[in-house]
Amino acid sequence: MTVNGFTALGLVEMTRKRSRESLEHILCESCPTCQGRGALKTAQTVCYEILRELLREARQFDAREYRVLASQLVIDFILDEESQSLAQLGDFIGKPVSLQVETQYSQDQYDIILM
């Protein structure tokens, strides 16, 4: 414990180093869906991450085809809002890109399989 002096009101100012984990950390566990962040990425955000990752993978590996595994919400967003972007990316990398719904995935989970 460190005593820092007195305030203008005559109160003692002191600090102490935390010596153990917080009560929340002891009594709670991380959410399996958000990994303790307290928020999930939107389907739109995950969609754009997937498009960027596809481009990175295509530059690094020479696969015959790319398959995206993602949640229903993300696949729906890609097909509804970003189908043109996906088609343009497929043309740019010169390889087909297929989409597959993975029902066990949370909204912010996805995988890209090189085939």
| HSE-CB for 105 with a 13 A CA cutoff | 19
Domains of the chain, earliest start first: 43-114 (3.40.1260.20)
What is the secondary structure of 56-77 as a DSSP string? HHHHH---S-EEEEE-HHHHHH
What is the reported pLDDT for 67? 98
What is the rounded distance in angstroms from the CA atom of residue 111 to the CA atom of residue 4? Answer: 53
Mean pLDDT, residues 28-56 taken together? 90
pLDDT averaged over the chain? 90
Mean pLDDT, residues 7-33 taken together? 80
61-94 tens-digit pLDDT: 999 999 999 999 999 999 999 999 999 999 999 9
Mean pLDDT, residues 27-56 taken together? 90
Mean pLDDT, residues 14-42 taken together? 81
Mean pLDDT, residues 16-27 taken together? 78
What is the reported pLDDT for 73? 97
pLDDT classification of 18: cutoffs 50, 70, 90: confident
Give, as one character, the DSSP assignment of residue 7. -
